[in-house]
Structure 1
Amino acid sequence: MKTKWWPTSGMAVTMVLAVVIFLLGMLTGRLQGVALAVVLLLGCGWIQLRHPHASGTVRLTTRSGTTSESRVGATVSWQPAAGVDALRLRTTAPGHRSVDTVVAAPRPSTSSGPSTSSGSEERRIPISIRTARTGRRPIFTVDHQERYGAGLYTSAGDTAGPMSITVLPKATPLREVPLPYRLSGLTGPHDSRRAGDGNDLRDINLFTPGDRLRRIDWRVTARRNGPGPGTSGPAITDLYVRRTHATADAAVMLVLDSRDEVGPDLTTWNDSSSIPEDVPTSLDNARAAALTMARRYLQAGDRVGLEDLGRMHRPVPPSGGQRQLQRLSMRIALAEPEGEPRARNRPPRMPSGALIVVFSTFLDNETWHLAQLWHGAGHRVLAVDVLPEPDLRNAPRRLVTAYRIIAMERHDRLTALARSGVEVIDWTATGDRPVQVTLAALTRKRVRR
């Protein structure tokens, strides 16, 4: 591919130095200096006449566009043009300083195998970065320039990337999770309050049409039937059966508030693209929390769905199985703010009797209002606070004052939710009451089923 090549400042410095040495050699009568200057000028002229007129190709690739690892990587593949000496790379990532690298061109291949048109082998340079962020991330951007003649000539610069890599959130193990007020379905992993086929004993009652013979309790039948006339043994006139509680499953709807994304640094609240890769944001916490809850309920045999408040799309209906977990993982990872959030004329419709888990920062009244509406409709609602702890040390005074006002309004919303019956969970809490302890306490709370 043809491109423009330019002499660098090193070429100008070399030529000026050669002229100065030549003049000093002539004035002092030293032929060594004159010869050295002539060699430098001839070398610069040779480089200028013989410099390449084409450039190689630089590609930025990755093994997979989706990963769940904390360290993500890519590969810079360089196919140099003929005569090119080196490649200068400048790799940048959001929130990190750039890294400059000079890569020497590979020697021409002398093997009998297939060779490229330029006669040089392809050079591959691996790059990687550790990230705490999730979702679709434009992580790597590579600026590159080819060099010739010990860096005296360089090609016009070009850029490869940015490369988008989808980083899936990681789910942490949970032991206990709350259940909805009312279980649904004819079978499942949980014991309901209605009679049916299950494990836990409900009562012992008289045999009625429709009861199965294998449910007859012969010990109770023999004990409650008296001996018959003229016989030594009891006459069985009534049969008694053991009735159990039926099993059922839970319907869970995860409501992900992806309308905003904020980090601990207050100066980045207006621009989330400047947040470093090693600092998780509120949306990263929400993605990890949603996937953690989804995996826990799906492993228990329940049905889980997803509603994204940041998009006016159809929700993922509740379902179970490994395929549903994969579907939810991708939908959760791709949830991100899309411009200015649009107001909803009516709340999203939820399945009857479902447990609703809302993941939000509660910085406005939208999710607060929806949580109260769903709770008023008879759903059990969990409000999961995913706002990271803000860092006020380097923030300007005006931002600190503004944040204190926002924090007071947010505290009032969460307090109003707790008073109305919505159970509030701080997902980023540590210390004496982490999120596992809070979920265990809500699990043991007696609710109607």
Structure 2
Amino acid sequence: MSLPEPPPARPPTWGQDPEPPPAPAATGRWTPVRAATWASAACLVVLLLGVLAGRPDAAVLGVAPLVLAARALHGRPAGPLRARLEAGDVDDDPDARGGGGGLHATLCLEGPARWAAVTTTRQGRPGTEVLVRLADERRLPVVARTVRTGPQEVATAVVQGVGPDGASVAEPTPPVTRSTVVLPATTPLLDLPLPSRLRGLTGPHESRRPGEGGGLRDVHPWAPGDRLRRIDWRVTARRSPDLRELYVRREHAQAEAVVVLVVDSRDDVGPDPRTWRGSVAPRPQDATSLDRARQAAASLARAYLAAGDRVGLDDLGVRRRPVPPGGGRRQLDRIRHSLALTAPEGEPSARLRPPRLPSGALVVVFSTFLDDESAAVAARWRTAGHRVVAVDVLPRLRASGLYDRERLALRMMTLTREDRMAELADQDVELVTWRDEPAVALRVLARRAQRRAGAGVAR
């Protein structure tokens, strides 16, 4: 049994399914259907008229239906019908799935009924209505298509038992609901930009300061403290054949990058501008800006953590404890779960200062930049010396079907937003549009030299 929704462009990822509260069972009362009652009454009238009129042929016409109706009512089931929704199967590697992704659940039916009428809905929208045969117990798969991420409803089911020959029905069971948290999927990325200053004494990247593990920095005369195994005998033989002076090879140190992902959860808008006021919900087959922000942040977190860097997460829309920078697979799971729970929470309070970040961290801001708040925070971080990458997550807008005044308002908003993005570029904030080719844009930023003169070089 499948709920009719368009398949997503990229399959979502299942998260932890919260256990729903147990649904109360129906009372177990079975009542005749209206059609059987009226048919029995009509047959009884035909029988009485045939007897009173002395027409046995007419009276016989009402006997057989009455016998069948009495037999069906006498053999109607007794007892309540129980229904519950259980979690479906979860893939071990959801990001590697192909085809259209969906949310899975299992509808379990138990009771004395022979047949059951199942009606499913999802988020208030009509789904499917099916009649299934029930032999004490039946398990039905439920699949819902979605492009959204975060907490959402899988399905709501209402079940009504049907007796023999459809002559009696049971009371409908209370609605049973199953909810889940859909984690954002990830997109493969190529090269990634690095902060202007690397940290730590080890890591996957080559820093500018002297140390061990990196590429060749220079060749220098031997000094106290240099290791003998670093003596370059070829250079020594060429520059000092009499071995009066030894030359050693000095290398660059290995270090790690610290990346802080900042999601602006204040806006959750779809591609249709008419839904931005909140009176009309976006269409279920349209991914919103927050869905794109979750996917973009999860993709960058996975790429940086796979390279051995440290990644943290913060939210501009909600003041709560951020996810501190860390590494490893568990850090990726923690970030993806926090991203899935990120959502607008009322009117956000104005910030007097931007959130505190680790020194020398790369800041990636995911926002629609529909107002000045996120742009101002990104500019302050750039002024403080951080390398800032602004990721535009606004979906591609649909202007068809808008009135003239709505087109004018959209045009004014677009011009104001373009001016705001141009000001960010003038303040040396690097821009990436996620709806175009984010992997290519990030690779271009990775090849740009963003180091200040003398940054990370020992004096």
Smaller-chain TM-score bracket: 0.7 to 0.9
- Given the superposition, is the C-alpha separation of residues 404 and 203 from structure 1 closer, same or farther in structure 2, using an over 3 Å criterion? same
Q: Deviations over 1:47-93 (max 9, x none)?
A: 55664453121000113689846222111000013xx2311111122
* Corresponding position of 1:76: 107
Alpha-carbon distance in 1 for matches of 2:328, 2:125:
40
Structure 1: gaps spanning 5 or more residues: 107-119, 227-233
Which residue in the other structure is 1:136 paired with?
151
C-alpha contact (below 8 Å) 2:89/2:104 kept by paired residues: no
1:88 equivalent to 2:91? Answer: no
Residue of structure 2 in register with 1:252 after alignment: 259
Residues 253-268 of structure 1 aligned to structure 2 (within 5 Å): 253-268=260-275
- Residue 32 of structure 1, CA deviation: 4.2
- Quick one: structure 1 residues 366 and 66, their matched pair in 2 at CA, closer, same or farther if it must change by over 3 Å? farther
Q: Deviations over 1:183-217 (max 9, x none)?
A: 11111111111111133111111111211111111
Provide Cα deviations, 1:165-192, integer angstroms capped at 9, x if missing partner: 2222211111111111111111111111
Pairing 1:10–2:35 present: yes
Give, in angstroms, the shift of residue 310 of structure 1: 3.3
Aligned AA for 1:183?
A: L
Does the C-alpha gap of structure 1 residues 277 and 446 become closer, same or farther in structure 2, counting only changes over 3 Å? same
Q: What's 1:100 paired with?
A: 129
What are the superposed Cα offsets for residues 337-372 of structure 1, whole Å, 9 maximum, x if unpaired? 223333334321111110000111112222112111
Equivalent of 1:269, from 250, 270, 276? 276
* Percentage identity across paired residues of the two chains: 44
Contact (CA 8 Å) 1:130, 1:277: kept in 2 or not? no
CA contact (8 A) 1:85 1:147 kept: yes
**DSSP-derived class of the 1:211 partner:** coil
Does the C-alpha gap of structure 1 residues 306 and 157 become closer, same or farther in structure 2, counting only changes over 3 Å? same
From 282, 287, 290, the equivalent of 1:283 is 290
Alignment pair present for 1:171 and 2:186? yes
Q: Which residue of 2 aligns with 1:231?
A: none
| Matches of 1:272 and 1:167, distance apart in 2 | 25
Cα distance 1:383–1:135, how it changes in 2: closer, same or farther (>3 A)? Answer: same
CA contact (8 A) 1:195 1:243 kept: yes
User: Could you tell me how far 1:374 is from its partner in structure 2?
Assistant: 0.8
> Which range is displaced more, 84-93 or 245-254?
84-93
Deviation for aligned residue 1:404: 3.0
Give yes or no for contact 2:158–2:172 (8 Å, CA) kept in 1.
Answer: yes
Deviations 1:251-276 (A, max 9, x none): 10001122232222334334599444
Question: TM-score w.r.t. structure 1 length?
Answer: 0.86
* CA distance in 1: counterparts of 2:172 and 2:405, whole angstroms: 42
SS at match of 1:447: coil
**Matched position secondary structure for 1:222:** helix
Alignment partners' CA distance in 1, 2:170 and 2:408: 51
CA displacement 1:283-338 (0-9 Å, x = unmatched)? 11111111111111111111111012233221111111122112112111222222
Does the residue aligned with 1:77 lie in a helix, a strand or coil? Answer: strand
Structure 2 counterpart of 1:116 = none
Q: Which residue of 1 aligns with 2:218?
A: 203
Identify the match of residue 60 of structure 1 among 68, 82, 85.
85
Distance 1:35 1:61, change over 3 A: same
- Higher Cα radius of gyration: 1
Q: C-alpha distance in 2, partners of 1:133/1:199?
A: 43
Change (3 A) 1:28 1:334: same
Return closer, same or farther for 1:284/1:205 CA change in 2, 3 Å cut-off.
same
**Distance in 2 between residues matched to 1:49 and 1:133, nearest whole Å:** 50
Aligned residues: 421
CA distance in 2: counterparts of 1:310 and 1:130, whole angstroms: 29
Contact between 1:385 and 1:426, CA under 8 Å: does it hold in 2? yes
2:447 to 423, 444, 449: 444
Q: Is contact 2:222–2:248 with CA below 8 Å preserved after alignment? A: yes
Residue in structure 1 matching 2:340, options 312, 325, 333: 333
Show the counterpart of 2:162: 147
Q: Cα offset for 1:402?
A: 3.5
Does 2:61 match 1:36? yes
Query: 375, 387, 400: which one pairs with 1:380?
Result: 387
Q: Does 1:393 align with 2:418?
A: no
Give TM-score scaled by structure 2 length.
Answer: 0.84
Task: Supply the distance in 1 between the matched residues of 2:124 and 2:448 (Cα, whole angstroms).
Answer: 44
Any idea what SS the aligned residue of 1:191 has? Answer: strand
SS in 2 for 1:335: coil
Deviations 1:405-440 (A, max 9, x none): 3323322222221121111111001xxxx2222112
- Residue among 353, 362, 365 paired with 2:369: 362
Q: What amino acid does structure 2 have at the position aligned with 1:436?
A: A
Q: Are 1:435 and 2:450 counterparts?
A: no
> In the superposition, relative to structure 1, how do residues 127 and 29 fare at CA in structure 2: closer, same or farther (>3 Å)?
farther
Q: Distance in 1 between matches of 2:87 and 2:56?
A: 57
Give the Cα separation in 2 of the matches to 1:309 and 1:15: 68
**What amino acid is aligned across from residue 295 of structure 1 in structure 2?**
R
**5+ long unaligned stretches in structure 2:** 1-24
* 2:175 aligned residue: 160
> CA separation in 1, counterparts of 2:91 and 2:292?
19
After superposition, the C-alpha distances for 1:225-271 in whole angstroms (9 at most, x for unaligned) are: 25xxxxxxx2x221111111111111100011222322223343345
**Secondary structure, counterpart of 1:442 in structure 2:** helix
State the partner residue of 1:117.
Answer: none
Corresponding position of 1:230: none
Is structure 2 residue 215 aligned with structure 1 residue 212?
Answer: no
Q: Residue 417 of structure 1 aligns to a residue in which SS?
A: helix
